[in-house]
Amino acid sequence: MTESPPPVRVAHQIPEHPQVRPARPFFSSGPCAKPPGWSADKLATESLGRSHRSKLGKQRLGLCIDLIREALQLPDTHRIGIVPGSDTGAYEMAMWTLLGARPVTALAWESFGEGWVTDAVKQLKLEPTVMRADYGELPDLRAVDWSHDVLFTWNGTTSGVRVPNGDWIARDREGLSFADATSAVFAYDLPWDRIDVATFSWQKVLGGEGAHGVLILGPRAVERLETHTPPWPLPKVFRLTAKGKLSEGVFKGETINTPSMLAVEDAIWTLEWARGLGGLHGLIARSDANAATLDRIVEERDWLGHLAADPAIRSRTSVCLTVEGADEALIKKMASLLEQEGAAYDVAGYRDAPPGLRIWCGATVDTADIEALGPWLDWAYASAKDA
């Protein structure tokens, strides 16, 4: 069988101004692009102006939860709750209510993982074991002690690094696994038997609105909630139990605080759109196609690279790119030029990450728009260097 020739890498030269723009130049890593065909007038409005505790309000919240379960193919053993504060609020709710019963290990290879380290050390005073890696890399997952509760991000949004799979999570673990999965849920087939706690927000792979988070609890996490009383005060918005039992209503649509019913209707519309794609596997296929297209763009250019050099740990949603000779000023200039031209919005890397570009490749982005982006990256790089 004849092997395919290696990709031709394009040397840096000033390109012509591209003529074809991405039809939807929304490449932000959060809030992310709305799904194709979305418009505000397509959202159901009957619940707007109604109490979230009305029969209708609870029915719509319950429907949203049911659609999440269906899309994720989540087993009945896991509860799903809509909570305040986006992914951050959901993850901190889990930390504050569940930690303190066992030693803690915190993994950090990008800014959000470092945030959970800060919470564990400075706020909860837990003295965790901290395992770090530089941007673009992972710590040694084989060295994780599963007699501890373990905090980690499944897909590091600011570094473009993900855990390769769930095989490193011990089946016979004594501690709980806490997965910040906000850029992973709906983009990977997650092993729910290995995940005790997962959090995400609608604003990532679903392209939904911010402010609300989703908390998923497996049976071992529920058992911890009902048998462990944290040694620190719990704000009202974090309380998941009453009289030593799980507040089941939270996981049936009886939210702890007032949600935006408009955001709920937006999530419902997108989840029904996802159902039309074939659910989880349709969403995964779109993300994979986008990431593969961006990979080809990178391979063909000698000035572009992946921050995550190892494809096995490279994100397929928040893809972080290195730019030859770039500093913060050059990246800002490139991002500004692309925005001015309406060719790409919000593609500068995260402020704490090494200077580079970050391109969202989740399911709500069209592959044709990733394809159209390549020449615009050439143009912006040459123009920024020439400025």
| Shared domain check, 209 and 141 | yes
**Domain closes at, from 275, 303, 327:** 275
More confident residue, 9 or 278: 278
* Domain contains 17: no
pLDDT digits (tens, 9 = 90+) for 195-222: 999 999 999 999 999 999 999 999 999 9
HSE-CB at 270 with a 13 A cutoff on CA atoms is 27
**Residue 1 resides in a domain:** no
* pLDDT attached to residue 266: 98
Whether 331 is covered by a domain: the verdict is: yes
- What local confidence, expressed as pLDDT, does residue 152 receive? 98
Helix, strand, coil shares of the chain, percent, nearest 5, are 35, 15, 45
- Say yes or no: 187 and 111 in one domain: yes
Please return the burial class of 188, using the count of CB atoms within 10 Å of its CB with bins 0-12, 13-18 and 19+: buried
Same domain (yes/no): 291, 355: yes
Mean pLDDT of the chain: 95
Q: Are residues 238 and 327 in the same domain?
A: no
- The number of distinct structural domains making up the chain is 2
Residues with Cβ within 8 Å of 340's Cβ and at least 6 positions away in sequence, in order, are none
In a domain, 22, yes or no: no
**pLDDT of the residue at 207:** 98
- At residue 16, the pLDDT reads 79
The domain boundary, picked from 240, 275, 310, lies at 275
185 vs 183: CA distance, rounded Å: 6
Are 341 and 218 in a shared domain?
no
Element (H, E) at 291: helix 280-299
Q: Which residues contact 104 (CB under 8 A, 6 or more apart)?
A: 120, 126, 128, 129, 148, 149, 150, 151
Q: What one-letter code names the amino acid at 220?
A: R
The pLDDT, as a whole number, for residue 387 is 72
The CATH number of whichever domain residue 155 belongs to comes to 3.40.640.10
How do residues 113-163 score in pLDDT, each as one tens digit? 999 999 999 999 999 999 999 999 999 999 999 999 999 999 999 999 999
> What CA–CA distances, in Å, run from 359 to 17, 83, 297?
21, 28, 12
CB atoms within 10 A of CB 105: 22
Q: State the CATH number of the domain containing residue 351.
A: 3.90.1150.10
- Asked if the structure places residue 62 within a domain, the reply is yes
pLDDT digits (tens, 9 = 90+) for 364-385: 999 999 999 999 999 999 999 9
Q: Same domain, yes or no, for 220 and 97?
A: yes
Shared-domain flag, residues 182 and 228: yes
* pLDDT tens-digit map of 6-62: 665 555 566 778 999 999 999 999 999 999 999 999 999 999 999 999 999 999 999
The whole-number pLDDT of residue 350 equals: 95
In this predicted structure, which of 6-10, 267-271, 281-285, 358-362 has the lowest mean pLDDT? 6-10
229/346 same-domain check: no
Q: Do 374 and 316 belong together in one domain? A: yes
Percent of the chain scored above 90 by pLDDT? 95
Residue 344 lies in a domain: yes
- Please report the pLDDT score of residue 44 as a whole number: 97
Residues 6 or more apart whose CB falls under 8 angstroms from that of 364 comprise: 32, 33, 34, 35, 36, 205, 206, 207, 270, 286
Q: Helix or strand or coil: residue 55?
A: helix
Measured in whole angstroms, the distance separating CA 125 from the mean position of its chain's CA atoms is: 27
Residue where a domain terminates, one of 275, 301, 336: 275
Same domain for 339 and 240?
A: no
Predicted confidence at residue 14, as pLDDT, reads 66
The pTM (predicted TM-score) of the whole model is 0.94
Same domain, 145 and 157: yes
Which of 12-21, 27-36, 278-287, 306-315 is predicted least confidently?
12-21
Strand residues in the chain grouped as ranges (E): 79-84, 104-108, 129-132, 149-153, 155-156, 161-162, 177-180, 197-201, 212-217, 241-242, 245-246, 304-306, 318-323, 357-360
- Compute φ and ψ for 84, nearest 5 degrees: -80, 160
pLDDT digits (tens, 9 = 90+) for 88-110: 999 999 999 999 999 999 999 99
133: containing domain: 41-275
Q: Are residues 60 and 149 in the same domain?
A: yes
In this predicted structure, the answer to whether residue 321 has a pLDDT above a threshold of 90 is yes
Angstrom distances, CA of residue 130 to CA of 5, 104, 238: 44, 9, 25
In a domain, 12, yes or no: no
Q: What are phi and psi of 241, to 5 degrees?
A: -130, 160
Stretch 178-187: mean pLDDT: 98
In the prediction, which pLDDT does 186 show?
Answer: 98
Kindly state whether residue 185 falls inside one of the protein's structural domains: yes
